[in-house]
Amino acid sequence: MRGFTRFWLTALLLCFAGTAPAHAADCAKLASLMLPDTKITRAELVAAGTFEPPPSPFGPPLGAPPVSFKPLPAFCRVSATISPTPDSQIAIEVWMPAEHWNGKFVGTGNGVWAGQIGYGAMADPLTRFYAVAATDTGHAGTGFDSHFAIGHPDKLVDFGYRAVHEMTVKAKMLIAAYYGEGPKLSLWVSCSTGGRQGLMEAFRYPQDYDGISAMAPANPMTALMIQTVWTGYAALKDPQAALTPAKLEALHKAYLSACDAKDGVTDGFSSDPERCRFDPAVLRCKGKDGSDCLTAAQIATMRAVYGGVKNPRTGARIFAGFPPGSEQQVGLLMMGPAPFPVATTYMQDLVFKDPKWDFRSFDFDRDTVRARDAGSDVLDVPPLGLAPFFARGGKLLLSHGWSDGLIPAFNTIAFYKAVTSGPGATADSVRLFMAPGTCHCGGGDGPFLFDAMGAIDRWTTTGAAPDRVVASRPPGVPAMTRPLCPYPQTAHYTGSGSTGDATNFACRAAR
């Protein structure tokens, strides 16, 4: 594939060298460009500050924050459909700055089951004069269900790994055609499903990207489906075991009361959840049930959520649970009448192939194997498969919020530990940064805004691995900065200065 891509890039350079990208005519030329298995449907120059995303019947992509497109510079917008198989219809967009291109390319990803192009995720790289690309992964949908894959194995493969690779290859061809040269650096920056997509690129196509930032990666995806069913099952199998939002909030406050100050600073979140033992039984109702206490059944629910998926026959833990501190968000998986649909549709559509399948029938002994076998070869990234990516100098920046209530933080820690125990992985090639008090892809009690794209760019460009990444809070809340540290180090207050200022914290190993 590498030789094939080089051939096409050379051909494109011969045909399009010497263009002046700032002119609309040069962008329009791309409409007639012939690329393998690809139909270009749009090639137009968009004036600065005028872009508006096309309306979607599904609303914005799941979890996408509001984005203003007014700051966008003028850019060449190319839309295309790629059909590597007869059943593939992979929509992509490639945006290229009309002027001041920095010579680099950024690939962006999706949330949950994808189904839409994430225009919002493309905005920040373009504003910083990167060329950027995105895809819907080969189907249209809300992201909540896997119906698109019923009877369409090629579409599952497109979602699992093929669409992002095809997008990347074609984007580089378009960049070479527009600017007269290909990107000197290619980066992947995304979260959740997008994080898994980045890991998959490193695993299956190690030549596609030089640096990959994968936050809260939804990997292994099949395990995550089982974990989600387990969490919902724990709360919903018995009406008496369910927790209300008020009870979850009381539980979160009890956790903070027990664990916040153990890092030496009382700041509304715990910097080191691994080293604080918390038992939800501290909120056991001493009399009548109330919104600020837990019944015995509810305590059992939370112990199951924290404890992880266990084999009912042997008692052995199969998959990790959610760390204490994630109560505010994990409730989304527990509010019924069934577990989170992203997981239940996987079971109904692809595992049991029965639209009437009931989560209460799931056997966490026998059915865990069935659930993994239904999609692991397409959806999961093995941690010991990244050696070729590291061998060519690839850099992997992992991150995860400790308060993530949709994807357990322990999943990424386990992946990191496995990766670093394998071939080719060193502190110069892979690092993990845990974000205290941060929910899924952002939000939460702690500082959660940090420049992942800048960090992976600097690392890949200079070769100097980051020894800390500074996170901040958004406007409108009390200002705070805090260093995120390379795992297993955590941030420790130096003893003087404001506890809201990252400069007064040092990264060090737990004592």
Q: Is residue 491 part of a domain?
A: no
pTM for the structure as a whole: 0.93
Pair 447, 501: CB distance under 8 Å: no
Distance CA 37, CA 85 (A): 8
Pair 158, 139: CB distance under 8 Å: yes
**Residue 295: Cβ-neighbour burial (10 angstroms; 0-12, 13-18, 19+):** middle
In a shared domain, residues 234 and 190: no
398 forms bridges with which residues in the sheet?
Answer: 214, 432
In a shared domain, residues 22 and 82: yes
In a shared domain, residues 155 and 235: no
Tell me whether residue 146 is one of the annotated catalytic residues.
no
Catalytically annotated residue among 124, 136, 349, 404: 404
Q: Running DSSP on this structure, what letter comes out for residue 254? A: H
In a shared domain, residues 60 and 17: yes
Q: Is residue 166 part of a domain?
A: yes
HSE, CB side, 13 Å, CA atoms: give it for residue 224.
29
Q: Is residue 135 part of a domain?
A: yes
Which two tokens mark 481? 């900065």
Pair 58, 141: CB distance under 8 Å: yes
Catalytically annotated residue among 440, 445, 457, 492: 440
In a shared domain, residues 196 and 231: no
Which two tokens mark 159? 């979602």
Domain holding 416: CATH number? 3.40.50.1820
In a shared domain, residues 239 and 212: no
Distance CA 208, CA 33 (A): 22
Distance CA 330, CA 69 (A): 32
In a shared domain, residues 186 and 227: no
Q: Give pLDDT, residue 337.
A: 86
In a shared domain, residues 195 and 312: no
Domain count along the chain: 2
Q: Is residue 506 part of a domain?
A: no
Pair 214, 196: CB distance under 8 Å: yes
In a shared domain, residues 71 and 179: yes
Distance CA 478, CA 40 (A): 47
Catalytically annotated residue among 190, 192, 213, 326: 192
Tell me whether residue 377 is one of the annotated catalytic residues.
no
Domain that holds residue 229: 223-254+271-342+352-365
In a shared domain, residues 22 and 147: yes
Q: Is residue 373 part of a domain?
A: no
Digitized pLDDT (tens) for each residue of the chain, 511 residues in all: 444 344 344 444 434 433 344 466 799 999 999 999 999 999 999 999 999 999 877 776 666 678 899 999 999 999 999 999 999 999 999 999 999 999 999 999 999 999 999 999 999 999 999 999 999 999 999 999 999 999 999 999 999 999 999 999 999 999 999 999 999 999 999 999 999 999 999 999 999 999 999 999 999 999 999 999 999 999 998 889 999 999 999 999 999 999 999 888 999 999 989 989 999 999 999 999 999 999 999 999 999 999 999 999 999 999 999 999 999 899 889 887 889 999 999 999 999 999 999 999 999 999 999 999 999 999 999 999 999 999 999 999 999 999 999 999 999 999 999 999 998 899 999 999 999 999 999 999 999 999 999 999 999 999 999 999 999 999 988 999 999 999 999 999 999 999 999 999 999 987 6
Distance CA 448, CA 482 (A): 9
Tell me whether residue 291 is one of the annotated catalytic residues.
no
Q: Is residue 504 part of a domain?
A: no
In a shared domain, residues 32 and 165: yes
249 in helix, strand or coil? helix
Distance CA 202, CA 199 (A): 5
Q: Which residues contact 119 (CB under 8 A, 6 or more apart)?
A: 53, 67, 69, 93, 134
Q: Give pLDDT, residue 15.
A: 43
Q: Is residue 170 part of a domain?
A: yes
In a shared domain, residues 80 and 228: no
Q: Is residue 265 part of a domain?
A: no
